[in-house]
Structure 1
Amino acid sequence: MTINRRTLLGGLAAAPAATLISGQAVADTAGAPTALPPVLHQFHLGDAKVTVLLDGHLPLGVQLFTDYDAEKAEVALAKGLHQMTPEGLNIPVNGYLVEQGDRKILIDAGTADLMGPSLGALGGALAATGVKPSEISTVLLTHMHPDHSGGLVKANGQAAYPNAELVVSQVEWDFWHDDAIMASVPEGSRGFFQMARGTVAPYADRLRLIKGEAAVIDGFTAMPLPGHTPGHTGYMLDSGGQQLLFWGDVIHSTALQFAYPDWTIAFDTDAALTAETRVKMFDRAVADNLLLTGSHIDFPGLGRVLRHGKSYAYQPAPWQFGL
Structure 2
Amino acid sequence: MLPGLAHAQIALGDIQLDVVSDGSLNLPGGFIFDPMPQTELLPILKDLGQSADVLTPPCNVTLMRHGDRVVLFDVGSGPDFTPTAGDLLASLEALTVTPDDVTDVVFTHAHPDHLWGLLDDFGDPLFTRASYMIGQAEWDYWINPNTVDEIGEARASFAVGAKRRLEMIEDGTTFFNDGDEILPGVAARASFGHTPGHMAFEVRRGGEAVMILGDCIGNDHIAFARPEWHSGSDQDPETAAATRLSLMDQLSHEKTRVIGYHLTGNGVGYVDKTSAGYAFVKEG
Query: Is the TM-score greater than 0.5?
Result: yes
Provide the C-alpha distance between the structure 1 equivalents of 2:216 and 2:143, rounded to a whole number of angstroms: 23
Counterpart secondary structure, 1:236: strand
| Structure 1, 58-67 or 121-130: larger mean CA deviation | 58-67
Give the fraction of aligned pairs with identical amino acids, expressed as a percent: 28
Asked whether the equivalents of residues 46 and 241 of structure 1 are also in contact (C-alpha less than 8 Å), the reply is no
Deviation at 1:288, TM superposition (A): 1.3
Q: Is structure 2 residue 10 aligned with structure 1 residue 43?
A: yes
Asked whether the equivalents of residues 20 and 61 of structure 2 are also in contact (C-alpha less than 8 Å), the reply is yes
Counterpart secondary structure, 2:56: strand
Asked whether the equivalents of residues 291 and 303 of structure 1 are also in contact (C-alpha less than 8 Å), the reply is yes
Deviation at 1:311, TM superposition (A): 1.0
Q: Is structure 2 residue 101 aligned with structure 1 residue 135?
A: yes
Match of 2:202 in 1: 236
Asked whether the equivalents of residues 62 and 68 of structure 1 are also in contact (C-alpha less than 8 Å), the reply is no
* Distance 1:85-1:313 versus aligned 2 partners, 3 A rule: closer
Asked whether the equivalents of residues 114 and 146 of structure 1 are also in contact (C-alpha less than 8 Å), the reply is no
Counterpart secondary structure, 1:99: strand
Q: Is structure 2 residue 145 aligned with structure 1 residue 179?
A: yes
Deviation at 1:260, TM superposition (A): 1.1
Match of 2:223 in 1: 257
Query: Which amino acid in structure 2 is aligned with residue 192 of structure 1?
Result: F
Counterpart secondary structure, 1:68: coil
Q: Structure 1 unaligned runs (5+)?
A: 1-33
Asked whether the equivalents of residues 66 and 263 of structure 1 are also in contact (C-alpha less than 8 Å), the reply is no
Provide the C-alpha distance between the structure 1 equivalents of 2:68 and 2:129, rounded to a whole number of angstroms: 14
| Structure 1, 66-75 or 158-167: larger mean CA deviation | 66-75
RMSD across aligned positions (CA): 2.1
Deviation at 1:53, TM superposition (A): 1.1
Query: Which amino acid in structure 1 is aligned with residue 240 of structure 2?
Result: T
Asked whether the equivalents of residues 55 and 121 of structure 1 are also in contact (C-alpha less than 8 Å), the reply is yes
Alignment of 1:256-295 (within 5 A): 256-295=222-261
* Distance 1:286-1:83 versus aligned 2 partners, 3 A rule: closer
* Distance 1:264-1:126 versus aligned 2 partners, 3 A rule: farther
Q: Is structure 2 residue 262 aligned with structure 1 residue 313?
A: no
| Structure 1, 95-104 or 270-279: larger mean CA deviation | 95-104
Pairing partner for 1:62 from 29, 34, 41: 29
Query: Which amino acid in structure 2 is aligned with residue 54 of structure 1?
Result: S
Provide the C-alpha distance between the structure 1 equivalents of 2:224 and 2:70, rounded to a whole number of angstroms: 32
Asked whether the equivalents of residues 37 and 121 of structure 1 are also in contact (C-alpha less than 8 Å), the reply is no
Alignment of 1:1-323 (within 5 A): 38-64=5-31, 65-80=33-48, 82-84=49-51, 86=53, 88-186=54-152, 189-317=155-283, 319=284
Deviation at 1:115, TM superposition (A): 2.4
Q: Structure 2 unaligned runs (5+)?
A: none
Deviation at 1:187, TM superposition (A): 5.3
Query: Which amino acid in structure 1 is aligned with residue 77 of structure 2?
Result: T
Provide the C-alpha distance between the structure 1 equivalents of 2:107 and 2:227, rounded to a whole number of angstroms: 24
Provide the C-alpha distance between the structure 1 equivalents of 2:168 and 2:251, rounded to a whole number of angstroms: 36
Provide the C-alpha distance between the structure 1 equivalents of 2:152 and 2:21, rounded to a whole number of angstroms: 32
Query: Which amino acid in structure 1 is aligned with residue 149 of structure 2?
Result: A
Deviation at 1:125, TM superposition (A): 0.2
Asked whether the equivalents of residues 111 and 119 of structure 1 are also in contact (C-alpha less than 8 Å), the reply is yes
Deviation at 1:172, TM superposition (A): 0.5
Match of 1:29 in 2: none
Counterpart secondary structure, 1:300: coil
| Structure 1, 148-157 or 257-266: larger mean CA deviation | 257-266
Counterpart secondary structure, 1:205: helix
Deviation at 1:301, TM superposition (A): 0.9
| Structure 1, 58-67 or 281-290: larger mean CA deviation | 58-67
Matched positions, count: 282
* Distance 1:46-1:72 versus aligned 2 partners, 3 A rule: farther
Query: Which amino acid in structure 2 is aligned with residue 252 of structure 1?
Result: G
Asked whether the equivalents of residues 189 and 199 of structure 2 are also in contact (C-alpha less than 8 Å), the reply is yes
Deviation at 1:185, TM superposition (A): 4.2
TM-score (norm 1): 0.81
Counterpart secondary structure, 1:252: coil
* Distance 1:118-1:287 versus aligned 2 partners, 3 A rule: same
